[in-house]
Structure 1
């Protein structure tokens, strides 16, 4: 058990997790119902030699989980939107999925969320936004915040990542640095670097559409319970999902040409 320390630095960036602080070389986070499952996954990744995730150190005197702090930068920047960074991110996600093989998919305790209809293959991060990817020396080397992790398919986790990094979004909702990018080219680049198989590429846009529909319903239901989800919803999350879905419908043929 770690003692409570006075010098705490609040960490910002996530949308729905409050109370995350840095204490020295550790991160303290409020424990959740999914924490035991997440800790089991992180320990599995450590045993597999995957270096792109925090290590579990236990709990402090306030009952918060204690993880290693991973130094670096998060968020959208000229470095993080480059083609090289996108390819590196795809390889990081592939390494995470490969390292997670053998972890029991039937284990319960995950928070749940939208998902694919196909049988689960891996534990997906399912929330690999720019706020949850850590860069050092221009390279995305680690992922953080596994609160939305759950059993899923590889292509579904690829879709949840490309939603933010391609990005599959209406230009009005994109970061200014991503408004002028060729989304189709970025989809292809990511899939090539990840090594996504042809049959998975053929499903990618179908799964993206499915995710838009289901994530809208999941977020709406969670927002009804108040808290951070309600704040996110009130800030226009539902409208952004609807616009992204409509943008995908309007550009599907052009995007598909880059994939198959």
Structure 2
């Protein structure tokens, strides 16, 4: 599979708009394909999706090429996602466990993937002044790193596929598991959680993800540390991207994402012992 122009197998059907998440606009369905803008991380994403196809990982769309309008062409993944307003089933613990298993299956499938020479993961931003340090753990694989409810496709009540790989980058496994917990536990001030998740037992849900993913003891013990460090960095990176890229990023910043990140940091510091105890208990 190359990144060349996609050849339509027949007269294309109508373009049906699809929800594109917080920052991706112009996503449409055409027949059994999805067309979306080519993002700055596309060289890595395309190589990653080709790898997943080669190893037979069923939980991701296939990259088919670039259409005549200059858009990515991907296979359409049938199923349901937790759009907005969030459905009540987002709090279901069996579904939560299935998300942990799906992400672990993805991480295992991508463990042998090597970033192609000359490809630089990410959005091409230099770190802004004052950016706190990264977690001190080496990258182990190219993580999905955007496991939001919008990006997990369910079938029959089970997480079946990941979509939207724009945020993929090399990370430690603990960071990938943390990303799942961030959105699905969820990690943050309950006032900022989606309504179905405002009264859930967050430490318990973290443990469910950890067990389903099969987190190592070492990763469980460092999860809170990584969560705090990543949260501190998130404020700086979100502010910079909003200023430099605008669009959906700027809208999120204007709507208060920076304040929510600060509240998450304070909440993590208050709840650190409870989360750590739930993750590391026998």
TM range (shorter): over 0.9
- How many residue pairs match? The answer is 260
CA deviation vs aligned residue, 1:192-218 (integer Å, no higher than 9, x gap):
111100000001010000111111111
SS of equivalent to 1:146: coil
Task: Name the residue aligned to 1:250.
Answer: 270
CA deviation vs aligned residue, 1:16-72 (integer Å, no higher than 9, x gap):
111111111100011123212111111111111211100011111011110000111
> After TM superposition, what 4+ stretches of structure 1 lie above 6 angstroms from structure 2?
none
Mapped to 2, the partners of 1:207 and 1:51 lie a distance apart of 30
Mapped to 1, the partners of 2:138 and 2:275 lie a distance apart of 26
Q: Are 2:118 and 1:111 equivalent residues in the alignment?
A: no
Q: Are 2:90 and 1:90 equivalent residues in the alignment?
A: no
**1:206 pairs with 202, 222, 225, which one?**
225
**1:161 pairs with 174, 180, 190, which one?**
180
* Alpha carbons 1:116, 1:153 under 8 Å: kept: no
Task: Name the residue aligned to 1:173.
Answer: 192
Task: Name the residue aligned to 2:61.
Answer: 54
Mapped to 2, the partners of 1:79 and 1:138 lie a distance apart of 9
Task: Name the residue aligned to 2:247.
Answer: 227
Mapped to 1, the partners of 2:76 and 2:177 lie a distance apart of 25
Matches within 5 A, 1:23-34: 23-34=30-41
Q: What is the alpha-carbon root mean square deviation over aligned residues?
A: 1.7
Identify the range of structure 1 (75-84 vs 213-222) with the bigger mean alpha-carbon deviation.
Answer: 75-84
* Alpha carbons 2:91, 2:200 under 8 Å: kept: no
* Alpha carbons 1:116, 1:152 under 8 Å: kept: no
Mapped to 1, the partners of 2:268 and 2:138 lie a distance apart of 25
Q: Are 2:215 and 1:196 equivalent residues in the alignment?
A: yes
In structure 1, runs of 5+ residues without a counterpart are none
